[in-house]
Amino acid sequence: MNKTTALLLVDVQNDFCPGGALAVPEGDQVVEPLNRAVEHFVAIGLPIFASRDWHPPQTSHFQPFGGPWPVHCVQNSHGAAMHQDLRLPASVVLLSKGMDESVDGYSAFDGITEEDRTLADLLTENGIDHLYIGGLATDYCVRATVLDARKRGLTVTVLNDAVAGVDLQPGDSKRALAEMRAAGARMLRVAEINLMVSQ
């Protein structure tokens, strides 16, 4: 029984893919493995969450307003839309984050649903204590989300062939993965999900 397991896709949005405003090299290559992960979780009836970076036009997160990043994932823009090839089920629970004009909002735990629910509340209510996590970017939002989940005592499995990083400094993603591992996150390839997550 894996009633306590869920999949969490982090920020698989156009702006983090090649051609986007904050493109992650090979960011689009997480889409196919994540589709396979989604199919597996749907097939066995386990919940799927997806976060999105969802910024206001003006935020201290953006360079024109003193922040570290080029303007990206502005609410309702094409860049903020999920990658068109990502196949999300109708049952997906969407979490929007980065909406506060003075908060970066890297972690999916900073996100809220349309009904103002937090990820932490939803996990608690549904008895979920193990998250499988993949998406973008390894060295920012995936890292922050994984470390947050570990701090909250959740079991975390990173789908390490379904993440990609910005690597502003060479090696950032590699270091981020090492940090996640040191925090107790497990690493798994998408093809191995069926061995670990079953009915």
User: Which residues in this chain contact ligand VGL in the complex, by CB under 6 A?
Assistant: 11, 16, 22, 53, 69, 136-137, 140-141
Which residue in 15, 17, 28, 97 is the catalytic one? 97
Within 97-116, the residues that bind Zn ion by CB under 5 A are 98
- Contacting Zn ion (CB under 5 A), which of 15, 53, 110, 148? 53
Nearer to ligand VGL, 8 or 136 (CB): 136
**11 catalytically annotated:** yes
Which residue is at the shortest CB distance from Zn ion? 53
Shortest approach of ligand VGL to residue 137 CB, angstroms? 4
Inter-residue contact 23 to 16 (CB < 8 Å): yes
Inter-residue contact 13 to 73 (CB < 8 Å): yes
DSSP string, 127-165: T--EEEEEEE-IIIIIHHHHHHHHHTT-EEEEEEEEEE-
Tokens of 141: 């939002």
Task: Verify binding: residue 15, Zn ion, rule CB under 5 A.
Answer: no
Residue 48: CA count within 13 A, CB half-sphere: 22
Shortest approach of ligand VGL to residue 139 CB, angstroms? 7
Nearer to ligand VGL, 69 or 132 (CB): 69
The torsion angle over the Cα atoms of residues 132, 142, 159 and 173, rounded to 10 degrees, is: -160
Sign of the Cα pseudo-torsion (157, 159, 4, 145, in order): positive
Nearer to Zn ion, 28 or 53 (CB): 53
Q: Which does 6 bind (CB under 5 to 8 A by kind): ligand VGL, Zn ion, none?
A: none
Could you list the active site residues?
11, 97, 141
